[in-house]
Structure 1
Amino acid sequence: MSSVIGIVSVALVASLFMSFTVGANSNSAPIAPAVGANALSTLRGALLVGLVAGLGAIAQGGSISETIGHGLVTGVTITPLAATATLLTAATLITIGNSRGYPIPSAFTVTGAAIGAGVALGGGFAVMTYAKILGFWFAIPVVEGVLAYGLAWLLLDETVSDTLSIPLLAAGVGYTLANVQLSFLPAPQSEQGSIAGVITRQFNVASIGLGEAGIVLVGVVLGLLTLTVVYWQLRRDVTTGINRLLVALALVVVFTSGGSQVGLATGPLEAVFESSLGLPSLYLLALGGLGILLGGWFRSPRLIQAVAREYASLGPKRSIAAFIPAFLVAQAAIALGYPISFNKVMISSIVGAGLVGGSSDSAGVSTTKTVYTVGAWVGSMVGGTVISFALYHTLAALPGLG
């Protein structure tokens, strides 16, 4: 019994270490365009990363945590020892990349490590799950790049007024935010609720004969409210309005990144919390949120600088073009329960927006840096699988642990 408690304790520490690493690594990327556009200082950006990503982890982290904990291997339940091997492997590889200035994709690393430990435990490969996740991963650079390029082209087109294009894009973000599922909002059948859903029920919008369309109507109203606020900000001062929107979008994306990344740290412990501790997963998400907060505060400035300055130098409009696709793709991943790398999401958007030329809004993409990073992505997943497999067998062979 004491050995089980010891292993669970080590697994909890490993999860905290992993969430700290995620906060320093993946959650720093979304704030980078705002820093690169000089709308935020690096240190203020790091402070906001910790606070907002930690909140997002608790509010939206459940679906991806479930996939990592139960969906990557078949026929076995992840044990505390396997969870420890997974988390130690992934966190170590990511920390090494972080210290060298290369943002290693947490999703690739954790997924590979979880598969390696699960197979070492005697589990089988969840082939259909891998196919869906890999398909989503392969689609990210294409979708992100095309969307970011198109939005950057629109925003940099001098024939289109900023007071038209920017508020319309902000309205789309507002509508999406109104409909995202949040753990702390009530909903029927104990499901997660959305802002639009809560308002619909609170004011009994369905009673006017709209039914489920009432939620859509409320979302549209909130989107139009966002459009109005942004429009009047731009009417007062275009530069100030753009910078304020840029910071607001940065915080929205950081919040989303917390929800999409915390599951990478907490997922391996889902089964442990259910079987060994008998605690609800919300406590596990809170632990991950704490680690993300601390990681964002203490370790993110280096990665913020790397993404903001070295991959592409973006002006404010290109940064807006980079944020919106990242937000939409990450929310789709959360809804589907697919683990993603937020570094990959942000870098794809940054590269797409940076490829639009012919403007005073500064640009430039480092091909060499991008190629090295892609190599690190592939290596981290393969290496995570092999190392985690070997580490599990090593730990299992130790007296009192096997």
Structure 2
Amino acid sequence: MSSLVGIVTVALVASLFMSFTVGANSNSAPIAPAVGANALSTLRGALLVGLVAALGAVAQGGSISETIGHGLVTGVTITPLAATATLLTAATLITIGNSRGYPIPSAFTVTGAAIGAGVALGGGFAVGTYAEILGFWFAIPVVEGVLAYGLAWLLLDETVPDTLSIPLLAGGVGYALANVQLSFLPAPHSEQGSIAGVLTRQLDLAATGIGEASTALVGGVIGLLTIVAVYWQLRRDVTTGINRMLVALALVVVFTSGGSQVGLATGPLESVFESSLGLPSLYLLALGGLGILLGGWFRSPRLIQAVAREYASLGPKRSIAAFIPAFLIAQAAIALGYPISFNKVMISSIVGAGLVGGSSSSDGVSAAKTGYTVGAWIASMVGGGAISFALYHALAALPGLG
């Protein structure tokens, strides 16, 4: 019994450390353009990163946590020892990489480590799930690049007034936000509901004969109200309106990043919380949210300042163009339960938006860098899997742990 308590404790500490790292690294980039545009101070940006990303972790982190904890191997239930091997492997590799200046993609490392520990436990490969996740990963740069390029071209086109393009884009984001699933909102036939769904039931619109279209109608009204609010602000002052849109969109992306990244730290412990501790997964997400909050507060200011300098040449409009595809892709990943590297999501959008008008953000994009990035994905997954597999067997061989 004491050995089990020790293993679970180590796994919890490793999970908290990983979520701290995620909060410091993966959630800081979206707020940097607002800091670079002097719309926010660095310290206020760091404060918002911690709070908003932690809220996103609790509100939207469940689906990806479920995939990491239950969907990557077949035929077994992840034990505390396997969870410990997964988290220790991923946390160690990421820490070593960061300390030596080699960025280790969290999503790929955790995914590989979870598969390695699960297979060592006697599980089988969930080949269908891997194919879906890999397909999504490889589609991200193409889809995001095209979307970001198109949006940047629209926003920078002088023949299209800002009072038209920016409110319309804001309305689309508002509609999407009204329909995302949130853990703290009830739904009649699922564990999570949406803002549009809750309002539909509160207003009893389904009984009016509109039927299933009622939720879409409410979402459309929310999107329309967003358009009006942003248009009104731009009519008063274009520069202030753009900066406020930039800040609001940055916070939406930070919220989404918390929901998409917390599962990397909490997923391996899903079975542990359910079986060994008898606690609902919401408590696990709260633990991950706490780590993200602390990471955002203590580590992100320096990262925000560094990234803000890189964003300076991008400008507010290109930053908006980069944020919207990142938000949509990350929300799609959350809905599907696919783990993603949020930094890679942001980079894909930044490159796409930066290509318009010859921005310096696109300088240095080469086949060599692309090959290095893909190589890092493969190496982190394969390496994480092999080390986690070996670590599980090493831990299991210790007296009292096997």
2-structure distance, mates of 1:100, 1:320: 32
How far the C-alpha of 1:100 sits from its partner, in A, is 4.6
Deviations along 1:264-296, one digit per CA (max 9) or x if unpaired, are: 111101111111111111000100100111111
Structure 1 residues 359 and 401, CA gap change in structure 2 (3 angstroms): closer
How far the C-alpha of 1:137 sits from its partner, in A, is 0.3
Structure 1 residues 373 and 77, CA gap change in structure 2 (3 angstroms): same
SS at match of 1:400: coil
TM-score for the superposition, normalised by structure 1? 0.94
Structure 1 residues 303 and 95, CA gap change in structure 2 (3 angstroms): farther
- CA contact under 8 A between 1:25 and 1:94: conserved in structure 2? no
1-structure distance, mates of 2:112, 2:360: 42
How far the C-alpha of 1:102 sits from its partner, in A, is 5.2
How far the C-alpha of 1:396 sits from its partner, in A, is 1.6
Deviations along 1:220-256, one digit per CA (max 9) or x if unpaired, are: 0000000011101111111111011001000001101
2-structure distance, mates of 1:308, 1:371: 26
How far the C-alpha of 1:359 sits from its partner, in A, is 7.6
How far the C-alpha of 1:101 sits from its partner, in A, is 5.1
How far the C-alpha of 1:36 sits from its partner, in A, is 3.7
Structure 1 residues 320 and 55, CA gap change in structure 2 (3 angstroms): same
2-structure distance, mates of 1:179, 1:141: 25
How far the C-alpha of 1:312 sits from its partner, in A, is 8.0
Structure 1 residues 387 and 225, CA gap change in structure 2 (3 angstroms): same
- CA contact under 8 A between 1:104 and 1:373: conserved in structure 2? no
- CA contact under 8 A between 1:256 and 1:331: conserved in structure 2? yes
Which has the higher mean CA deviation after the structures are superposed, 66-75 or 352-361?
352-361
- CA contact under 8 A between 1:59 and 1:183: conserved in structure 2? yes
Structure 1 residues 238 and 168, CA gap change in structure 2 (3 angstroms): same
Structure 1 residues 137 and 312, CA gap change in structure 2 (3 angstroms): farther
Within the alignment, does 1:46 sit opposite 2:46 as a pair? yes
- CA contact under 8 A between 1:53 and 1:254: conserved in structure 2? yes
2-structure distance, mates of 1:370, 1:36: 27
- CA contact under 8 A between 1:68 and 1:268: conserved in structure 2? yes
- CA contact under 8 A between 1:64 and 1:339: conserved in structure 2? yes
SS at match of 2:189: helix
1-structure distance, mates of 2:24, 2:361: 29
How far the C-alpha of 1:398 sits from its partner, in A, is 1.9
Deviations along 1:75-126, one digit per CA (max 9) or x if unpaired, are: 1111111101111111222223333555432111110110111111111111
Which has the higher mean CA deviation after the structures are superposed, 19-28 or 378-387?
378-387
Structure 1 residues 355 and 77, CA gap change in structure 2 (3 angstroms): same
How far the C-alpha of 1:386 sits from its partner, in A, is 1.6
SS at match of 1:245: helix
- CA contact under 8 A between 2:37 and 2:312: conserved in structure 1? no
SS at match of 1:190: coil
- RMSD value, Cα: 2.2
Within the alignment, does 1:204 sit opposite 2:192 as a pair? no
- CA contact under 8 A between 2:355 and 2:362: conserved in structure 1? no
Structure 1 residues 364 and 201, CA gap change in structure 2 (3 angstroms): farther
Structure 1 residues 388 and 306, CA gap change in structure 2 (3 angstroms): farther
Where do 1:89-128 residues align within 5 Å? 89-100=89-100, 103-128=103-128
2-structure distance, mates of 1:372, 1:108: 14
Which has the higher mean CA deviation after the structures are superposed, 385-394 or 14-23?
385-394
Structure 1 residues 360 and 162, CA gap change in structure 2 (3 angstroms): farther
Within the alignment, does 1:342 sit opposite 2:342 as a pair? yes
Structure 1 residues 192 and 115, CA gap change in structure 2 (3 angstroms): same
Deviations along 1:106-165, one digit per CA (max 9) or x if unpaired, are: 111110110111111111111000000000000000001110011001101111100000
How far the C-alpha of 1:49 sits from its partner, in A, is 1.1
Structure 1 residues 198 and 219, CA gap change in structure 2 (3 angstroms): same
2-structure distance, mates of 1:293, 1:4: 28
Q: Structure 1 regions of 5+ residues with no counterpart?
A: none
How far the C-alpha of 1:368 sits from its partner, in A, is 7.6
How far the C-alpha of 1:362 sits from its partner, in A, is 11
- CA contact under 8 A between 1:313 and 1:365: conserved in structure 2? no
TM-score for the superposition, normalised by structure 2? 0.94
- CA contact under 8 A between 2:313 and 2:360: conserved in structure 1? no
